[in-house]
Structure 1
Amino acid sequence: MGALALVSAVGIFVDDRILVGVPIWTKPFKFSVSLLAYALSLAWMLSLLPRGRRVGWWAGTVVAVAGAGEMVLITLQVIRGKRSHFNQTTPFDNTVFQVMGATVVVLWLGALVIAVLLLRAKILDRAMAWAVRLSSLIALAGAAVGFLMVRPTPEQLAVDESPIVGAHAVGVPDGGPSMPLTGWASNGGDLRIPHFFGMHALQLLPLLLLVLAALAPRFARLADERVRLRLTLTASAAYTATFALLTWQALRGQALFAPDGATWAAAGTIVLLSATAATFSLRGPSPSPSPTPSPAPSPHRPS
């Protein structure tokens, strides 16, 4: 993936072809960088397993092979100057997309096996254990958003044998106005936003915990494993809620930076609840009440 990212970066500058509104090598570049981060994170998580390493090795290998197969097909279509996703223009294009869909399912199942192994693993640091477990589950949900993209749009259903079936954008056609760098739709919903955000929980939540551990020598409160655990659970809950909000926003055909009142209200609620939970997470245990000293016995006086 690292090598392909470099090749794709060069392709963006030397190949002037445009596909669906962006330079044609943009897709393999973004996918290879994303898979690079994803694979490194899974490899590190597998190293934490005290048991089940052989099963984890096989599951990781399945993920790696499926990811590599996906990128071979994406790159093949780039070389041909054709769309890789949702393309049913010719029998060959349709076959490529169907095989890509199968590799994604296999990759997702391999990641599911790893997530189950992590759920059952007894990792000594409880905060790290839950950061790894919850981030792997959120990443699975983020990857599953991709399955929503293959549904035909109302415009495609209105056409007999549409050459393109499925879309990243919701409410607007793919290839319209987009955000810089990401290429996400700027005038409507885009399912790639929650897809990206959910999958990269795999890096961001463990990274948060590593930052907390690095700050522990300076802040005594963070040296308490229970505090780090509570902050990890709070961050995971906030991340999950934000992922759900982004998915809901995209499915309603709403651009990321054009939220309506309902989206603003949901976002404000998430921020308020997360800040409150983080504040309580940082509080130390209540001090135990000091025992009341019993009165000293009076000396016995002979009558």
Structure 2
Amino acid sequence: LDPMVDKGSRGVSHRPLMILAAAMAVLGAVALGGLVFDDRSLVNAPIWLKPLKFTISVGLYAVTLAWLIGQLTRGKRLGWWLGTVFAAGLGLDMALLFWQIAIRGRTLHFNRATPADQWINNMVANGAFTGWGATAAIALLLLFQRLPDRAMNSALRAGAALSVAGIGVALLMFGPNEQQRAQFRAGERPSVLGAHAVGVPDGGPGLPVLGWSTVGGDMRIPHFFGIHAIQVLPLVAFGLLKLARRYPVLESEFVRRNLVRTASVGFAGMLVLLTWQAQRGQSIVHPDFWTLVAGAGIIAAVAAGSALSLRTTRPMNHLT
């Protein structure tokens, strides 16, 4: 038997990813204790808040990715190695995150103040890019899978693809902002290169717990929204399957598949909208007229697509 592949399972069976998830649960408990007993702050936020948020996000992502790899019927060995690469890259990132923030008491992302800060920042970026590449490769593998349920098949493919896009959105945070470009033009070497916020400094007024800027754009919003498509869309497919017990129209897998595809298009539209809004320096809580119009258009398109999907009980011959 191949120790890397549990051939009789289609569930969560990837040991390195599950070890990563278990480690995140332990570190999350540590971070939660830090929030209670450690009153230090960093960039106007409790110093343990960012580690706690990252442990939750990475832990959930690891479990989801392990489940996705368990669904592979082709390229399962390659999927196992890609999951292991992801676990190693994100495991290193989380170790450095805790060391830099909780132990050293210094900011992690964009910090180039000292050689040590720059080295840690670069290592974390390398780990993130490694994880992004592994996720992108797994998304490609999912394109070649044929699961029994068409709705779940569509959800896995779209969720993985949108998650890759959400990770890619983070690249927009690592370029210099206007203030940093001005420092370069003046011959100075900025100690910070990149930012979460757009149009305002990092660390300003933000939403409770999340910290997303309430006075300017914030690229963490589309990044967060995109990466969790890998969980949301399969949950949509699963929810539709459960609702089929009560609503006969959903018994058709083609109806459920079309509804999942409609949800995927709407999710993609919202990802683009949130990125556009943030890049214009606009706060999530203060949308302008054009943002509201675009949002209403996405809602209308999803509503129309859903109505059309519910009217289709079987595929037309040229679509099968």
The match for 1:298 is: none
- Report if aligned partners of 2:139, 2:157 keep a CA contact under 8 Å in 1: yes
1:210 equivalent in alignment to 2:238? yes
Given candidates 265, 268, 287, the residue that maps to 1:240 is 268
Structure 1 vs Structure 2: percent identity of aligned residues? 44
Displacement of 1:60 in angstroms is: 0.3
The letter of the residue matching 2:38 is D
Displacement of 1:100 in angstroms is: 0.8
Larger radius of gyration: 1
The match for 1:51 is: 74
- Report if aligned partners of 2:49, 2:209 keep a CA contact under 8 Å in 1: no
Q: How does 1:1-303 map to 2 (within 5 A)?
A: 1-78=24-101, 79-159=103-183, 160-285=188-313
Distance 2:64 2:223 in 1: 17
Q: Check 1:213–1:30 CA distance in 2 against 1; reply closer, same or farther (3 A cut).
A: same
- Report if aligned partners of 1:153, 1:167 keep a CA contact under 8 Å in 2: yes
Displacement of 1:162 in angstroms is: 0.9
Displacement of 1:9 in angstroms is: 1.1
**Per-residue displacement from partner, 1:234-270 (whole Å, max 9, x unpaired)?**
0000000001000000000000010111101100100
The two structures have a TM-score, normalised by structure 2, of 0.88
Distance 1:14 1:183 in 2: 21
Distance 2:313 2:241 in 1: 20
User: Any idea what SS the aligned residue of 1:116 has?
Assistant: helix
Distance 1:20 1:153 in 2: 18
The two structures have a TM-score, normalised by structure 1, of 0.93
Displacement of 1:276 in angstroms is: 0.8
Structure 1 alignment gaps of length 5 or more: 287-303
Displacement of 1:285 in angstroms is: 4.6
- Report if aligned partners of 2:254, 2:313 keep a CA contact under 8 Å in 1: no
How many positions carry a matched residue from both structures? 286
- Report if aligned partners of 1:231, 1:278 keep a CA contact under 8 Å in 2: yes
Distance 1:16 1:161 in 2: 32
Q: Check 1:53–1:7 CA distance in 2 against 1; reply closer, same or farther (3 A cut).
A: same
- Report if aligned partners of 2:162, 2:227 keep a CA contact under 8 Å in 1: yes
Structure 2 alignment gaps of length 5 or more: 1-23, 315-320
- Report if aligned partners of 1:221, 1:284 keep a CA contact under 8 Å in 2: no
- Report if aligned partners of 1:108, 1:143 keep a CA contact under 8 Å in 2: yes
